Amino acid sequence: MTDADKINILIKEGEGLTVEFKEHFTARIDEDMVAFANTKGGTILLGVRDDRTIAGEKLTNDLKARINSIARN
């Protein structure tokens, strides 16, 4: 099973205790990261709307650095 297949399954199953959809990156993503870190973990799918449609989000080096910075702090 490819990563794309796994992502499509997560999208099909929808949000829950361990899956969160985020249409776009915002600094408030830290709240979800902390919540998952304080439980059994989880997956945040960036670029996916709450209605399970794919909005897309360009993952630039700057965005990767911002997400990594939030995760470290």
Mean pLDDT of 9-37: 93
pLDDT (tens digit per residue) in 39-49: 989 999 999 99
CB 36 within 8 A of CB 18: yes
Domain span including residue 61: 3-72
The pLDDT assigned to 7 comes to: 95
What's the domain count of the chain? 1
Q: For residue 4, what are the CA distances in angstroms to 7, 21, 58, 69?
A: 5, 16, 16, 26
Residue 62 has pLDDT above 90, yes or no: yes
pLDDT computed for residue 6 by the predictor: 95
